[in-house]
């Protein structure tokens, strides 16, 4: 999980000057191998720039470093990403 | 005591109505008490004497009194404290000297140019510069000059003499310049 | 400036060897990111023929860089130069860390006319975010490039761009204490195409645009005292509209362009007047003994706000353009509030707030509360862009005066033109069509 987190955080760039305290949640779906097939905002931060950069960060990190072990992978097929820097 | 270079671009005299003065009492009050200084009285006498003689006579003649570096008349810049339009005590003698000179030379006219330092907005500073110039004018008239001899103009923060952004520069820019033709 | 937040990790419902299904969706928290300029690649636009007078892609790149929010890829690093969506290999751009790609093409339509087409693409989804065809002309190519910058900026940052506006400003060339040349200039927001419309040995200040962008009112001391002129920027013709003893300054056009609110001190201290430009008739609005200056109109033309120190120090007041009672607007906001102007929606004022330095503040007219939006020590000359949500102001930096724009909530900031030396009194004109 830490690897997924790190991969996404590496690509999460947002422009200077956004208001503090933003938080959004994305629904993410991956296929075996980690390719992101769906990443959409299910709870907006209210700031479209922040939301968009979160989405971009997920896509940038694709394919995600998901576990190979089938049972663990199954649990990782769909998950929520909460962006709250 | 600095000597101001003659301002070559001084334009024609604009006559000011005296009625405009009373509404200014609220903000800027020059010194109410007029000091009767021996020196200025003495100069007035000398000036009169010199004029009737038509020759300069040391620190006596009208023209050369203006040019005498030892005379308070040679001070042509009055400085102000921050956000203040009140004539400071240390300039009262200078104002008195110029008032006396003008009173003795009714044909002479001057311009008072008011200035402000750069802090604050330019338009408000234009108004502050004017307030300072009008404060000096009011004091001159109180001390004997004729309002018709004095034209005022404000340049606000637009014509600083010092370009720095520190208090030293600011203190040099908060001023009224007395400009003789 | 990198700004990295603290790290924390929380996982819901997942542990090694767990047999039970997680309660609710798996959640991974991202608590760290990088605050920086957004990477974007702008590819030279396709064109065949003799060299065009402007490199549109470069102008766009410079605009976006100057804003401080984007970091365009240097041209020499572009792996390829597609000019058509079909030619784009999105993977190439993803690998380079680009978020967005701009491609375009220019074609001549005869008689000096051109059609400029561009597309803003999302490198990760491969989708087009925006795409337009803009008719242009050989004399207008820079303006078209600025319009494209505005579109890109707004699409990605959801804030109106300020790249295609014009600014009027005064430059001062000082040679000595009383020896200076003042120039009133109009330029594009990026400083290009600067044109001097007045040059004088005497001060010039307070340029103000008419709502249609065709006229500029300003104050000139060329007759040894302040006087207000209105000049047509297209023809150069001008008219002296307010002069006389005392201060004549601070012009502001009414929203219908027919009147000027001004400051005159002919009655002994500065007061607000409204001047009918057609008839020359003047109506006095204030009569108190303090300084009343810096009038500004509300967008609906029903209110004029102005600066007055009748209460002891400068504060903002309001009055009807027809005259009548004046009410104070700024309270509990310190001892110096001046040079207010309205937001385009009429709900707030931007103004200069002082007290240990000067900064730009926004005053909410409904709540009566003010908040600071810049942190400079000498930030001045704020004005709302027409139709926009940006505030333009000048800030004193190490290299002289910088002209900058900021969003209303004080967040996204753009640096516009950087002029060497002294730039004073910037006034932003309305958007050009």
C419 falls in which pLDDT band (50, 70, 90)?
low
Is the pLDDT assigned to residue C420 strictly greater than 60? no
Q: pLDDT at position C338, please?
A: 95
Q: pLDDT at position C410, please?
A: 61
Determine if residue B95 is left, alpha or beta; phi over 0 gives left, psi from -120 to 50 gives alpha, anything else beta.
Answer: alpha
Contact C29 A14 (CB under 8 A): no
C275 falls in which pLDDT band (50, 70, 90)?
very high
Q: pLDDT at position C232, please?
A: 96
Nearest CA distance, C285 vs chain B (angstrom):
16
Is the pLDDT assigned to residue B71 strictly greater than 70? yes
Choice among B108-112, C163-167, C244-248 with the minimum mean pLDDT: C163-167
Contact C268 B131 (CB under 8 A): no
Residue in chain C nearest B160 by alpha carbon: C177
Is the pLDDT assigned to residue B179 strictly greater than 80? yes
Is the pLDDT assigned to residue C229 strictly greater than 60? yes
Query: Which of C223, C354, C424 is facing B120, going by the closest CB pair?
Result: C354
Most confident among A29-33, B42-46, C127-131, C185-189 (mean pLDDT)? C127-131
Is the pLDDT assigned to residue C7 strictly greater than 60? no
Is the pLDDT assigned to residue B91 strictly greater than 70? yes
Is the pLDDT assigned to residue B181 strictly greater than 70? yes
Structural domain boundaries in chain A: 2-83
Contact C5 A48 (CB under 8 A): no
Q: pLDDT at position C393, please?
A: 76
Q: pLDDT at position C66, please?
A: 75
User: How far apart (Å, rounded) are the C-alpha atoms in residues C268 and B26?
Assistant: 12
Which residues share a beta bridge with B78?
A: B176
Q: pLDDT at position A47, please?
A: 85
Asked if C37 reaches chain A (Cβ–Cβ under 8 Å), the answer is: yes
Tell me the count of B-C CB pairs closer than 8 A: 101
Q: pLDDT at position B105, please?
A: 94
- Global ipTM: 0.86
Q: pLDDT per residue over C380-397, tens digit each?
A: 767 665 444 567 777 765
- CA distances for B181 relative to B78, B111, B130, B138, angstroms: 18, 8, 20, 20
C21 falls in which pLDDT band (50, 70, 90)?
very low
Q: pLDDT at position C414, please?
A: 65
Q: pLDDT at position C401, please?
A: 63
Q: What tokens appear for C178 in the block?
A: 């009383």
Please report the residues numbered 211 through 230 in chain C whose beta carbons come closer than 8 angstroms to any beta carbon of chain B.
Answer: 221, 223-226
Is the pLDDT assigned to residue C301 strictly greater than 70? yes
Residue to substitute from B3, B24, B123, interface C, most C β-carbons within 10 A:
B123
Q: pLDDT per residue over C89-146, tens digit each?
A: 999 998 898 999 999 999 999 888 999 999 999 998 899 999 999 999 999 999 999 9
Q: C363 — phi, psi (to 5°)?
A: -115, 120
Q: pLDDT at position B153, please?
A: 97
CATH topology of domain A2-83: 3.30.1150
Q: pLDDT at position B165, please?
A: 86
Q: pLDDT per residue over C399-408, tens digit each?
A: 556 667 666 6
Average model confidence (pLDDT) across chain C:
85
pTM: 0.74
Q: pLDDT at position B36, please?
A: 36
User: How far apart (Å, rounded) are the C-alpha atoms in residues C405 and C381?
Assistant: 11
Asked if C401 reaches chain B (Cβ–Cβ under 8 Å), the answer is: no
Q: pLDDT at position C3, please?
A: 35
* Chain C residues with beta carbon closer than 8 angstroms to that of A76: 26
| More confident site: C307 or B68 | C307
Which of A28, A18, A22, A5 shows the shortest CA–CA distance to A79? A28
Contact C269 B155 (CB under 8 A): no
Please report the residues numbered 235 through 294 in chain C whose beta carbons come closer than 8 angstroms to any beta carbon of chain B.
Answer: 245-247, 249-250, 263, 265, 267-270, 289-291, 293-294
- Go through the domains of chain C in sequence order and give each one's CATH number: 38-157 (3.40.50.10070), 166-428 (2.120.10.30)
- Go through the domains of chain B in sequence order and give each one's CATH number: 18-179 (3.30.1330.60)
Contact B161 C177 (CB under 8 A): yes
Is the pLDDT assigned to residue C266 strictly greater than 80? yes
User: How far apart (Å, rounded) are the C-alpha atoms in residues C63 and B88?
Assistant: 51
Q: What are chain C's partners, defined as 3 or more CB pairs within 8 angstroms?
A: A, B
| Stretch C362-366: mean pLDDT | 91
- CA distances for C369 relative to B7, C278, C356, C359, C366, angstroms: 48, 38, 20, 16, 8
Residue in chain B nearest C246 by alpha carbon: B153
Q: pLDDT at position C49, please?
A: 84
Query: Which of C203, C245, C246 is facing B159, going by the closest CB pair?
Result: C203
User: How far apart (Å, rounded) are the C-alpha atoms in residues C129 and A56?
Assistant: 13
Q: C280 — phi, psi (to 5°)?
A: 85, 0
C251 falls in which pLDDT band (50, 70, 90)?
very high
Q: pLDDT at position C182, please?
A: 92
Asked if A9 reaches chain C (Cβ–Cβ under 8 Å), the answer is: yes
B41 falls in which pLDDT band (50, 70, 90)?
very low
Query: Which of A9, A49, A79 is facing C27, going by the closest CB pair?
Result: A79
Q: Percent of chain C, pLDDT > 70? A: 84
Q: Are strands B110-115 and A24-30 parallel, antiparallel or unpaired?
A: unpaired
Q: Which residues of B touch C (CB under 8 A)?
A: 7, 9-11, 14, 16, 19-27, 119-124, 126-128, 130-131, 153-156, 158-161, 163, 165
Contact C29 A9 (CB under 8 A): no
Q: pLDDT at position C163, please?
A: 86
Q: pLDDT per residue over C53-80, tens digit each?
A: 899 999 999 888 877 788 899 999 999 9
User: How far apart (Å, rounded) are the C-alpha atoms in residues A14 and A19?
Assistant: 11
* Chain B residues with beta carbon closer than 8 angstroms to that of C268: 19-24
Q: Is C61 helix (H, G, I), strand (E, B) or coil?
A: helix
Neighbouring residues of C37: CB distance < 8 A, sequence distance ≥ 6:
A15, A16, C68, C69, C70, C71
Q: Report helix angle A48-60 to A2-11, nearest 10.
A: 120
């Amino acid at each position: 999980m830490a690897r997924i987190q790190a991969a996404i955080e590496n690509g999460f760039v947002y422009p200077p000057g956004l208001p503090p305290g933003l938080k959004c949640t994305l629904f993410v779906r991956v296929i075996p191998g980690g390719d992101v097939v769906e990443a959409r905002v299910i709870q907006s931060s209210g700031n479209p720039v922040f939301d968009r950069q979160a989405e971009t960060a997920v896509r940038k990190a694709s394919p995600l470093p998901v576990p190979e072990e089938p049972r663990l992978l199954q649990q990782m097929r769909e998950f929520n990403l909460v962006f709250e820097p | 005591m600095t000597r101001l270079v003659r301002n070559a671009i001084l334009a024609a005299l604009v006559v000011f109505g005296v009625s405009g003065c009373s509404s200014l009492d609220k903000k800027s009050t020059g010194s109410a008490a007029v000091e009767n200084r021996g020196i200025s009285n003495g100069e007035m006498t000398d000036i009169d004497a010199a004029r009737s003689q038509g020759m300069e006579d040391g620190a006596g003649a009208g023209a050369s009194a203006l040019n005498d570096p030892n005379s308070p008349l040679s001070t042509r810049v009055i400085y102000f404290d921050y956000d203040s339009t009140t004539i400071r005590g240390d300039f009262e003698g200078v104002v008195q000297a110029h008032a006396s000179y003008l009173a003795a030379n009714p044909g002479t006219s001057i311009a008072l140019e008011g200035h402000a330092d750069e802090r604050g907005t330019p338009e408000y500073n234009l108004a502050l510069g004017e307030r300072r110039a009008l404060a000096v004018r009011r004091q001159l008239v109180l001390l004997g000059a004729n309002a018709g001899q004095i034209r005022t103009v404000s340049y606000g923060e637009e014509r600083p003499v010092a370009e720095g952004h520190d208090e030293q520069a600011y203190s040099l820019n908060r001023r009224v310049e007395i400009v003789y033709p | 400036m990198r700004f990295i937040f603290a790290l924390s990790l929380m996982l819901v419902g997942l542990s090694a060897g767990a047999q039970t299904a997680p309660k609710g969706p798996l959640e991974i928290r991202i608590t760290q990111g990088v605050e920086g300029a957004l990477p974007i690649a702008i590819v030279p636009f396709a064109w065949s023929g003799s060299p065009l007078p402007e490199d549109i892609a470069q102008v766009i790149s410079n605009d976006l860089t100057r804003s401080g929010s984007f970091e365009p890829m240097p041209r020499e690093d572009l792996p390829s130069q597609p000019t058509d969506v079909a030619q784009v290999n999105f993977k190439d751009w993803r690998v380079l860390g680009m978020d967005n790609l701009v491609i375009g093409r220019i074609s001549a339509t005869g008689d000096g006319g051109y059609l400029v087409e561009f597309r803003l693409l999302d490198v990760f989804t491969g989708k087009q975010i925006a795409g337009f065809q803009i008719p242009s002309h050989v004399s207008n190519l820079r303006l078209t490039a600025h319009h494209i910058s505005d579109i890109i900026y707004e699409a990605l940052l959801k804030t109106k761009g300020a790249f295609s506006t014009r600014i009027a400003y005064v430059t001062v060339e000082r040679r000595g204490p009383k020896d200076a040349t003042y120039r009133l200039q109009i330029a594009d927001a990026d400083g290009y195409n600067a044109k001097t419309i007045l040059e004088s040995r005497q001060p010039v200040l307070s340029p103000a645009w008419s709502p249609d962008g065709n006229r500029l009112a300003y104050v000139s001391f060329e007759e040894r005292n302040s006087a207000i002129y209105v000049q047509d920027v297209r023809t150069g013709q001008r008219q002296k509209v307010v002069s006389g003893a005392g201060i004549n300054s601070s012009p502001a056009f009414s929203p219908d362009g027919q009147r000027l609110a001004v400051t005159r001190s002919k009655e002994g201290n500065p007061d607000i007047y409204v001047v009918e430009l057609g008839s020359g008739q003047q109506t006095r609005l204030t009569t108190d003994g303090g300084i009343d200056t810096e009038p500004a109109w509300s967008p609906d033309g029903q209110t004029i706000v102005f600066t007055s120190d009748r209460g002891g120090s400068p504060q903002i007041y309001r009055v009807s353009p027809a005259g009548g009672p004046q009410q104070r607007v700024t309270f509990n906001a310190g001892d110096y509030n001046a040079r207010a102007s309205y937001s385009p929606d009429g709900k707030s004022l931007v103004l200069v707030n002082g007290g240990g330095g000067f900064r730009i503040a926004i005053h909410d007219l409904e709540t009566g509360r003010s908040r600071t939006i810049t942190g400079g020590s000498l930030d001045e000359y704020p004005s709302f862009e027409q139709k926009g949500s940006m505030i333009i102001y000048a800030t004193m930096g190490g290299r002289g005066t910088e002209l900058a724009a900021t969003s209303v909530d004080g967040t996204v900031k753009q640096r516009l033109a950087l002029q060497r030396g002294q730039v004073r009194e910037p006034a932003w004109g309305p958007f050009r069509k």
